[in-house]
Amino acid sequence: MTIRYPNGRKYQPSTQPTGQRKVNHSFGNRGKTLEDELNETNDYYLSQGIAVIHKKPVPIQVVNVNYPARSAAVITEAYFRTPSTTDYNGVWEGKHLDFEAKETKSLTSFPLQNIHDHQVEHMENVHNQGGIAFLLVYFSSLDRYFVVPYEYFKEKWERKIAGGRKSITLGEMEEISIEIPAGFHPRLDYLKAVRILLDRIQKEATERQEIE
Amino acid sequence: MTIRYPNGRKYQPSTQPTGQRKVNHSFGNRGKTLEDELNETNDYYLSQGIAVIHKKPVPIQVVNVNYPARSAAVITEAYFRTPSTTDYNGVWEGKHLDFEAKETKSLTSFPLQNIHDHQVEHMENVHNQGGIAFLLVYFSSLDRYFVVPYEYFKEKWERKIAGGRKSITLGEMEEISIEIPAGFHPRLDYLKAVRILLDRIQKEATERQEIE
C-alpha cells in the first residue's frame, strides 16, 4: 500500500543517514548546480556562435583592500549586495535576452519568495524595451526545467501582491511555460524552449490580426 | 612666441605644485568619474523608459567568508579578477547594446593597451550575433567623448596586432567615431551618438544596394 500525504505526494521513507548531505546520483545532472549547467550551456552557445550569454558577477561592496608588495591586491573586507538585475543576459540572433535562474526542491510548486521585487521590475523594464525576459525554473526533485516568459510570470506575481497564492503550482507551470526538452549536448538547451515560445507569441499575434 | 613639441603640441608650462593631484574644475564634469557620468545617464535612461543599461559588477573571486551571528556575512579574503566581457550592456528599443568605457589623459591619442584581448573578442562575438558593440572613449584633458563602433575600432586593433601603431590618434578618432554632443540632462547622452551611427550604417547599406 502506498501511503500518501494530504497533498497527494507519496510517502518516501528516508534512507539517508542523519547529518549526511543528500546528493542524488540517479538524475542526469549528477550533482551539478544549476549554475554549472547554465555555464556549460552558455560556453557551448558561445563556442558554436549560437549566442553570447554570460552570468553577471555577484555584486560585492569592497570596503578594504591590501596591496602587498609584489603580489596581487587582497580584498580583506567586503560584503555581498542584493543584485538589482537578473543574473544572466546577452544577445541571440540580434535579440536581447535577460533571465533569472531559480531552483526549487518542491515537487508541487515554485515558491515566489526567491524572487526580489527589483528583479521583477527589471524584467518588466527589459520586456517594455523589446528584450526577451524570462525565468528559468528548475524543479530539482523532478529534474524538470521550465522557461517562464515574463508576461505569464507577471500574472502570478501580481496574484501574490494582491494577497493570493505565494507560489506557482506545477500544473500552472506546465500551462504558462515551455519545458526545456531533455538534451545531450548541451544538456540544458534553453534557447530551444525560447524559440518555441517566440514562435507561439508570433502565431498568437498573427491570429489576433486575422480576427480583427 | 609659441613653443611647440615635435608632435605639434603647444608647450604648456605647468602651474601645478609638485605632489598635488590635478583636478580640473574648469570642465563640465567637475571631477566626476566617467563611471559616475555613465551611471547618471543610465539612471536617466531607465527612469524615462528610454533604455535599460547597467554596469556589470566587478568580478571578484571570494576565498573566505565569515558568518558572524546576527550580522551580515563578511568576506575576509577575495581577489579582483580580469573581466571577460565589456563593462556595460543592456537593451534599447529592442536592440542589444554592449560597450566598454575608457578614459585617457592624452591630448593626442588613445592608447590601446587599456583594452584586453578577450574584451575585443567579446565585442566581436556580440557584433556577429547582431548586437551593437562599441567603445566609449573619454579624452579627459580635452573633455571630449567619442563612440567608436566596433567595426572601425577593429581595424585599428588589427593594425596594432600586425605590429603597427599602439594607439588611435585623435584625428583618426574624429574620423571613425561619432562625438557625443555636449548635453545638459543627461550630460553624457551617448545614445544620441549611437543613433547617428546606426543611421549612417543604414544609409551606407542603402547606397551600396543602389549601386549594385
Would you say residue A125 has pLDDT above 50? yes
Cβ-contact B15, B114 below 8 angstroms? no
pLDDT band, very low/low/confident/very high, at A15 (cuts 50, 70, 90): very low
List the beta bridge partners of residue A79: A61
Q: In what order do the strands lie in the sheet with B60-66?
A: A60-66, A74-80, B74-80, B60-66
pLDDT band, very low/low/confident/very high, at A47 (cuts 50, 70, 90): very high
Cβ-contact A166, A160 below 8 angstroms? yes
Would you say residue A55 has pLDDT above 90? yes
- Chain A residues at the B interface, defined by Cβ less than 8 Å, are 46, 49, 51-52, 54, 56-60, 62, 72-80, 84-85, 89-96, 98, 122, 125-126, 128-131
Would you say residue B95 has pLDDT above 80? yes
Mean pLDDT of B149-170: 96
pLDDT, residue A31, reads 67
Cβ-contact B60, A75 below 8 angstroms? yes
Cis ω on the peptide bond leading into residue B186 (within 30° of 0)? yes
* Cα torsion angle, B167, B171, B173, B175, sign: negative
Mean pLDDT of B125-148: 96
Mean pLDDT of A117-143: 96
Q: Which CATH fold would you assign to the domain A39-55+84-207?
A: Trna Endonuclease; Chain: A, domain 1 (3.40.1350)
Cis ω on the peptide bond leading into residue A186 (within 30° of 0)? yes
ipTM value for the complex: 0.81
* Distance between CA atoms of residues B168 and B112, nearest Å: 7
Is A122–B52 a contact, with Cβ atoms under 8 angstroms apart?
yes
Helix axis angle for B117-128 and B150-161, nearest 10°, is 140
pLDDT, residue B31, reads 67
Q: In what order do the strands lie in the sheet with A88-92?
A: A52-55, A88-92, A95-104, A132-139, A144-149, A178-179
Query: In Å, what is the CA distance from A196 to each residue of A37, A51, A200, A203?
Result: 21, 16, 6, 10
What's the CATH number for B36-57+84-207?
A: 3.40.1350.10
A87 to chain B nearest CA, in Å?
10
- What residue spans define the domains of chain A? 39-55+84-207
Cβ-contact B98, B127 below 8 angstroms? no
**Which of B80, B92, B129, B150 to probe by mutation at the A interface, max A CB count within 10 Å?**
B129
pLDDT, residue A83, reads 86
- Chain B residues at the A interface, defined by Cβ less than 8 Å, are 46, 49, 51-52, 54, 56-60, 62, 72-80, 84-85, 89-96, 98, 122, 125-126, 128-131
Which residues are within 8 A (CB) of B195 and not within 5 positions of it... i.e. 6 or more apart? none
Strands (E), B37-143: 52-55, 60-66, 74-80, 88-92, 95-104, 109-111, 132-139
pLDDT, residue B88, reads 97
Mean pLDDT of B94-103: 97
Is B89–A89 a contact, with Cβ atoms under 8 angstroms apart?
yes
pLDDT band, very low/low/confident/very high, at B3 (cuts 50, 70, 90): very low
Strands (E), A140-193: 144-149, 167-169, 178-179
CA angle B40, B41, B45 (to 5 degrees): 120
